[in-house]
Structure 1
Amino acid sequence: MTTYILLLNWTDQGARNLRESPKRLDAAKKSLEAMGGAIRDFYLTMGESDMVAICEAPDDAVMARFCLTLSLAGNVRSRTMKAFPESAYRELIGTIN
Structure 2
Amino acid sequence: MPKFLFEANYLSEGLNGLIKEGGTRRLGAVEELFKSLGGTVEAFYFAFGDRDVYIIGELPDNAAAAALSIRVNAAGVTTLKTTVLLTPQEVDDAVKKTAVYRPPGRDLEPEVANWEGEGGHLV
Same fold (TM over 0.5): yes
CA contact (8 A) 2:9 2:53 kept: yes
Query: 5+ unaligned residues in a row in structure 2: which ranges?
Result: 99-113, 115-123
Q: Which has the larger radius of gyration?
A: 2
Aligned twin of 1:85 = 87
Q: Secondary structure at the match of 2:48?
A: coil
- The alignment's TM-score, normalised by the length of structure 1, stands at 0.87
The verdict on how the C-alpha distance between 1:29 and 1:67 changes in structure 2, with shifts beyond 3 A counting, is: same
Q: Normalized per residue, which structure has more helix? A: 1
How far apart, in 1, do the equivalents of 2:22 and 2:73 lie?
A: 14
CA RMSD of aligned residues (A): 1.6
Amino acid at match of 1:77: T
Superimposed CA distance per residue, residues 46-97 of structure 1 (whole angstroms, 9 cap, x where no aligned partner)? 2211111001111111111112222233332100001101111122123351
% identical equivalent positions: 25
Q: Please give the residue correspondences for 1:1-97 in structure 2 after superposition, counting only pairs within 5 Å.
A: 1-19=1-19, 20-22=21-23, 23-96=25-98, 97=114
Count of paired positions: 97
Whose RCO is larger (CA < 8 A, sep 6+)? 1
Superimposed CA distance per residue, residues 18-54 of structure 1 (whole angstroms, 9 cap, x where no aligned partner)? 2224323311211211210111101112221111100
Q: Deviation above 6 Å: which 4+ runs of structure 1?
A: none
